[in-house]
A and B are shown apart, each in its own frame.
Chain A
Amino acid sequence: MTAQLLEVEGLTTEFESSRRGRVTSLAEIDIALAEGEILGVVGESGAGKSVLLRTILGVLHPNERIAAGTIRFHGEPLPISEDDAMQERRGATISLIESGQRARLDPVRRIGDQLLDVMNAHDRVVRERRHERAEELLRLVGIPDAQHQLRSYPHELSGGMCQRVVIALALANSPELLMADEPTAGLDVTIQTQILDLFRSLVRETGAASILATRDLAQVAHYCDRVVVLRAGRIVDQAPVRRFFARPATDYGAFLLRAAHAARGEEIARAESPTAPARRDRARPAADAEPLLDVRGLVKHYRTQRHVVHAVNGISFSLRPGETLALVGESGSGKTTVGRCIAGLIRPTEGEIRLLGRDVGHVSTRRRSQQAGLETQVVFQEPRESLNPRWKLGASVEEPLRHQKQLDRRQRARRVLELLELVGLGGELADSYPHQTSAGVQQRVAIARAIAVNPKLVVLDEPTSALDMSVKAQVIDLLIRLQDRLGLSYLFISHDMTAVRMIAHRIAIMYLGRIMLHGPADDVFAQQTNPYGRALLSSVLYPDPEQERSLFRLEGEIPSAIELPPGCPLATRCPLAQPRCNDAPPPLEPVAGFAQLSACVRNSEIVQAGGPDALARREGRLPERDEPVAAG
């Protein structure tokens, strides 16, 4: 048996709640961790992942108490209930990376000073070496121009960069145990991949042992050696990664894995759940149908006091009745702005938005609601935010009916119940207030309000981003049913490729206010002819350690929409970039042999080479093989 770095035995913690009395937050946890090993801890929110990690670190919530158990580190028991004694170890031999990016950093202290703080708090780095070490750390976590950045304040760095600094803080004193709790929450997918790759290579390089806590089984599949499944504070499954993903030994493990697959819209879900519709089996709207929505040359620039933000820079697309078009992109891609223009919440700077043949781009929301009979409705990202907190849920659903003035009070009440039933809610919910219900219920109510007046088009602005994995799948299923039943057209705006895969007929991938890749969903998911599309989709992890991962990655950060690159917006990050890419933004053109449209000057070369990966490899811009995935 190899030397165990960390041994947790019978750890039980209790939480003193004012409402529910004493609650067991962790129950008899046994974990052993060898040096150089990466352990994945998975579970749904509230399963006790964070409590476990923080207990190992000795940072307990004021109402949290250790009831039983020991934690041994190098064979020595850790004084986890003594704050002072643990303080010497925190950030020194044991460290923790949590999510939060910029919020994790003191806004009024320079990055370099914050790194020095950690080193000064412990005496593990020789005093004279500390400044040098700080610079070295920034370089280690991939922050360019490290020397200069030491003097930066957190607000001068992007969220992704701040998260790198958080990692640097954890590494400062060369810990022997490096823990991470959802380290990529809230980051864009292409950045997430960068951070996780960095995390894994650092653990491998330094030889530290590591724990990665996450809700996302896909991350465990790709970045861990072993997995522990937590449920309500108990370990319910424990296995090497390969074995777990091949065949979970427990029901709950199997359930989680199924949910993870389902959330990615994969076949398994359909096979096992008869209620889940198979999107691709459904009849697609006729290709020659008159478009419901036609957008031509849409531009939206925001003028702030000092700058012009180029949110949307000339995009065109159309949407047929009964069809779902997904607008996909990372933060700053302009997808939400497009949705808001189409809903009439803001007016475009240039371009045409034709709904049923009428130009509605420059008509106010109010006029539109009178003229067009509320043909466009929106479901927003944050369900709680989108319902008036002082109104009962029924009143929110009723609001559009009331303004339309076609039904009397009793008819409206009946219609509200009908609508609630349609979205799978009981009528008694009409008398509840938003804060009394969960996010999933709130989002259903928001959907009911959106369909109350029989709109033709519903703009779905990240409707599932605020929801838990299993609720997400339910809401998407609901949306698909409603579409089938009511013949709605959806403009589905999302950064979540897995949600898109479940619902979209067609996909338009946006980057910095332009469409980079546009085509039928099957086609686009099967093969991406565009470098950005390729990078974005290859960043999506599947809960399968055997998934072959492309190494086609983007470098660096997303440029600001204030100073756009002069040519192709991707030129600063693209492995296939050439000098001519900086000349002018490439037009969106059909790709020979594919049903896709792609904006890239090297379209024909990419097709000839057999895809972006092949072209990059031929040009020596891509390593031959991926780093070997998890051992065991």
Chain B
Amino acid sequence: MRVFWYTARRLLYVIPQVIGISLVTFVVVRLLPSNPAYALAGPAATQETIDTIEKRLGLNQPIWVQYGKYVRDLAHGDLGSSFVSGRSVLSDIGQRLPATLELLVLGLFFAFLIGVPLGVLSALGRGRRIAGRASLGYGLLAGAIPDFWLGLILVYVLYTKLKVAPAPLGQLSPSVPTPRHVTGAVALDALITGNWVAFKSALGHLVLPLITLVFVYMAPIVKYTRSSVEDVYYGSEFIQQYRVNGLSHRAIVMRALRNGLPPVITIVGVLFGFLLGGLVLIEQVFAWGGFGQYAVQAITNSDFSAVEGFVVVAAIFNLIVYLIVDLLYFVVDPRLRAGVT
């Protein structure tokens, strides 16, 4: 019941943020240099045609009327339609998003699964001096290497030279037919429909982008786990109490981890939000055809509605992730449940 009220309060707080987001998006996108009416009408169009198009798009109206219309549409889930493809932006995004999410969720899942134990090990494991140094070095390296560059290097070594990886050209080999559409995420769809040929190909194509993603973005997870667990272990009197009580080292480490988890949850949430946009670069390298590449195309083409839709969806997605992080905190920490800060 408390969780319910907490969620409700938290949602109330989201509303002004969504309004702010829509406003910023609207303003930024209106600053785009080229006039979409010209782009749409083509180079040979007369002034008359352009005026008609401007009128149709509502571009001749005062800016605040345009904003009002924009918000109204947004509230109805209408993100407008792409000037380029002529299709609804929402459906375009709906088609592209699953590919990105598949990569993102899998990547962060593995990063968490491997990163947290590594962090704990380097903080409190038996060989923590060496492990600690190694994790420090790894963290610096992963933080300095641009992910897109690492992706390219992997392609060069494993595809061009060793020929063990598939060509970096999307989610499937061109020879394999796309599995029946269920969720839009290719590997998942192949699994659901039992299309093993497609599944195998999809997994093969996932390997390189996943390695890139996990190598670069596991670093903050390791780092935060390590420092948080270390802080709890060396800085908390209750850990001393556990020692005095005669609990085993292993049991104490588990309890330190339980207490040190909140910052790790936060960093995973932050990474999720960051990568929703940041994945653009990796997608570009592997021609992934996801959400990020859609954004790059839209910006290159000055595609008003598409850019708007993309930015708004990403920001709202981000808000949802932060909401989930807060709720997880709420579940993890009994002090929050009691309203103690």
Contacts and interface: CB of A to CB of B under 8 A. Distances in A.
Q: Tell whether any CB of A sits under 8 Å from a CB of B in the complex.
A: yes
Interface of A: 57, 59, 87-92, 95-96, 98, 100, 103-109, 117-118, 121-122, 153, 155-156, 166, 169, 306
B334 A91 contact: no
Contact of B244 (A88, A91, A106): A91
28 contacts: A59-B243, A87-B248, A88-B246, A90-B243, A95-B244, A95-B245, A96-B244, A98-B241, A98-B244, A100-B241, A103-B237, A104-B240, A104-B241, A105-B238, A106-B241, A108-B334, A117-B245, A117-B247, A118-B246, A118-B247, A121-B246, A121-B248, A121-B251, A122-B246, A155-B334, A155-B335, A156-B338, A306-B339
B120 to A, nearest CB: 17
A557 B178 CA distance: 70
B332 interface: yes
A169 B246 contact: no
Contacts of A153: 334-335, 338
B144 interface: no
Task: Sort chain B's interface into a size bin.
Answer: 20 to 34
A100 B237 contact: yes
Q: Chain B contact residues: over half helix, strand or loop, or mixed? A: helix
- From B238, B247, B248, B339, name the one whose CB has the most chain A CB atoms within 10 angstroms: B238
- From B245, B248, B338, B339, name the one whose CB has the most chain A CB atoms within 10 angstroms: B245
Interface string B226-253: 0000000000111011111111100100
Nearest to A169: B245
A90 B245 contact: yes
Contacts of B248: 87, 121
A166 B237 CA distance: 12
Nearest to A166: B241
4 smallest CB-CB distances across A and B, nearest first, come from A90-B246, A91-B246, A91-B245, A103-B237
Contacts of A100: 237, 241
Contact of A106 (B243, B246, B255, B339): B255
A571 B263 CA distance: 45
Given A95-B244, A121-B246, 7 more contacts: A59-B240, A91-B244, A96-B244, A98-B244, A106-B242, A121-B251, A122-B246
B12 interface: no
Nearest to B258: A108
A563 to B, nearest CB: 16
A88 B248 CA distance: 9
A106 B248 CA distance: 16
A89 B334 contact: no
A49 to B, nearest CB: 15
Contacts of A121: 245-248, 251
B340 interface: yes
B333 interface: yes
Given A98-B240, A153-B338, A108 B333 contact: yes
B259 interface: yes
A153 to B, nearest CB: 5
Contact of A117 (B236, B242, B335): B242
Given A106-B259, A109-B255, A117-B251, A90 B244 contact: yes
Contacts of A155: 334-335, 338, 340
A127 to B, nearest CB: 17
A313 B211 CA distance: 65
